[in-house]
Each structure stands twice: as C-alpha cells, then as structure tokens.
Amino acid sequence: MPDTLLTLNRGSSSLKFALFQLLPDGLKRLLGGKVVNLDGNAPEGAAHDTSGNLIWEHRWTGPECPSDIQLLDKLLEFVTGHSGTVSLAAIGHRIVHGGMELIAPTRLDSGVMEKLEALCPFAPLHQPHNLSAVRALAQMRPGLPQIGCFDTAFHAGQDAMLTRIALPRSLTEQTGLRRFGFHGLSYEYITGRLRELNPAKAAGRTIIAHLGAGASLCAVHNGRSIETTMGFSVLDGLVMATRCGALDPGVILYLARERGMAISEIEDVLYHRSGLAGLSGIGGDMQILLESEDPRAREALDLYIWRIAREAGALTSTLSGLDNFIFTAGVGENASAIRAAVCARLGWLGIETDEAANLSGGPCISTPASRVSVWVIPTDEEQVIARGTLACLREHAA
C-alpha cells in the first residue's frame, strides 16, 4: 500500500521537497531538502532528516542544467529508496497562481493544467517552472496522482473592492486583471500555528510579514485574509531581494519609450536586477548586506525597512487596529536586526520588543507592556501542501 506523500516546490532556480509518512491520524515528516542553482552551473541537492542529519547529496555535472525529468528522476531514486520501504501515494505541488477558480487543492489533470497554463502570463517567473515539474512527473509516473495547492487561494475571500484595479472595466473584465495576492500557503500555515500557540491572539487583527527573497505582508482577521501587499503579480508591494516592489507605472513607460528598452529587458530588470540587489549594487543576500560597510548597502536596507513599516501602517488602517505582528520566512525568521528596525519604526503602534527574546528568535519577542504582540514563527509551506494533498486524495476516494 502507498504510505507516503512527496511535496514539491519548483521555482525558477531551486526545487524544495519534503517526504511525509501517511498515518491513521495524519502526517509525519520524514525528510526535507532542496536543489539549488537550477538556473546556473553545477546544480546541487541535499536532504536532511528531521534531526538535521545529512542523508543525501548530489551534484549534477555537465555543460547544461538537467532537464526536469533528469532532475526529478534522481530525486525520486533517492526518495523511493529511502529506508527501502517508501511507496508514494501522491505528489503535492506548490502552484503559485490558481486564478479566480482554483481555490482548493485540486487534482492536476489535463483540464486543470490547461487552465493553469493560461495563467502563466500572470506569473511568468514561477508558474512555468511549477507546471514543468508536473508535466515531467506525468510523463515519468503517469499513474501517480498529482495535486496542486495554490498560493493565491488563501486570499480568495477578500472583499471585492480590495481586489479591483483602477483600469477601464473593458480591460479588467476581458482580461481578468485584478489583485490576487500570493504567499498564501505560508500565511495559511502561520495563521494555524498562531492558533496553536495562542488561540485568543489568533482571533484578533494580525499582520504577517513573509520576508524572504520574495516578500509581502498580509492583514489577517480571525484567520482570514483581508488585504495583502502583493497584487496582480509578485512584483508588487515591498522591496525584495531582486524585485522592485510597488513602482510608479510611469517608470515602465519611460524605460520603454525614452530608453528604448524591450519588454523582455524591462521584465528582467524588474524581476532580477532591482530590489536590494539593484539598490546596493552588491546583491540581494540579506546577511551580506547586514555585514557590509558599503553605504549603498545601508541605503538599500533603510528603504527595505521603511517600506515594510509604511505598508504595515496601511494594513493597520484596513484592520482598524492591530493585535499581532508576525515575522516569518528566511529574513523574518533569521535577521534579528531587521526585526528590531521594523518594530522601532512601528513604535507608534505601541510595539515594544524584548531585545533578548528578539536575539534568540522568540517565538514571542514583545514585552508584556507592548500593545501589540510580536512573534517570530517559522513557516512550513510543505506541511500545508501535504495536508492539502491528503485532503484531496481522501475526497476523491470518498
């Protein structure tokens, strides 16, 4: 009998994965790992068990990056050979964009894949890679169920006013242009985790700061998404590692008309050469920027922090107040200096942080006197994908 689920998060340059054992009362994580440098030379992968022990390493060599079939073949060889007993029941995928229709974990059959392909122009950095992994596995394991879990789904219940874009209705109604929101799998996990840590706090007004290479804020009330800083695309909102965040659209018109830049070149600038990397001229790695003595690094970080605080103020207005502020994802979980600086800028909300708690990583880093509880909660998108995949399997079996 199949006894495990594999989760995959195929990005533009990496592949995250985790293996879960199916139990009568739920799921148990067995291992997790990542393959990096998929957009460069010598991609390499590693996996660790739940105790942090390294249990797999592999480096792909050759003049070209491996195809998704070559990549996944090696990964499945490792996963299915783990402990010599693994039999996969399904594979769950993070799919960045589900559009307006796909708002629950869904079996990725040909009809659903056609709908998801049509959404690629809405998320050109992520969606094609997400779907490439699905197609490769369908070719390799045609009988193995594949389930999609969508980053946009968490925001599907937002008030219609907050999803509108102020363009002519003839454009928005014909093309589906609207605000969608992203990082939903992470936000779903964090809202559930806060409910476990403090049910009373979880019922209140919360801002979650998902600060990774991609970054966004989400205003949540009683576990439900109210508003988020990413809108139509993953370019919107905060300054990110290599993405610009919110941008006056006149800049794009200027670059095209006055500088003669092609759409593909502008796209490359906005997605890959902007944000912290573009501002600093050093790169988008937060740890390197924090340790740098280059004044451009400080300028980039100052803008990064200011934009987080500014957007948090706007979301507080939407919520008509604030009870909780949560940091998560790579920067949010690990950069205590960024947390301290953001909280200092939000001191007007009555936020007071405990310096020792912040340095140790929480989970609660605010003082008892703070009017807003501040938390550091590690995210676990793989857990959400696995739960959604299992629920979808059981629904189909019923």
- What residues are labeled active site? 151
What does 327-386 look like in DSSP terms, one character per residue?
EEHHHHHH-HHHHHHHHHHTGGGT--B-HHHHHHT-SB-B-TT-SSEEEE----HHHHHH
C-alpha–C-alpha distance, residues 333 and 376, integer Å: 6
CB of 280 closer than 8 Å to CB of 299: yes
C-alpha–C-alpha distance, residues 192 and 101, integer Å: 24
> Residue 347 has which token pair?
């001191």
Q: Write down the residue that tokens 């790169």 correspond to.
A: 283
The conformation of residue 62, written as its DSSP 8-state character, comes to S
Helix, strand, coil shares of the chain as percentages rounded to 5?
45, 20, 35
Task: Name all contacts of 28-37 with Cβ < 8 Å and 24+ positions apart.
Answer: 29/382, 29/383, 29/386, 30/4, 30/82, 31/55, 31/82, 32/382, 35/71, 35/75, 37/13
Q: Write down the residue that tokens 């990397």 correspond to.
A: 277
Number of H helices, E strands in the chain: 15, 13
C-alpha–C-alpha distance, residues 68 and 333, integer Å: 30
Q: What are phi and psi of 8, to 5 degrees?
A: -130, 140
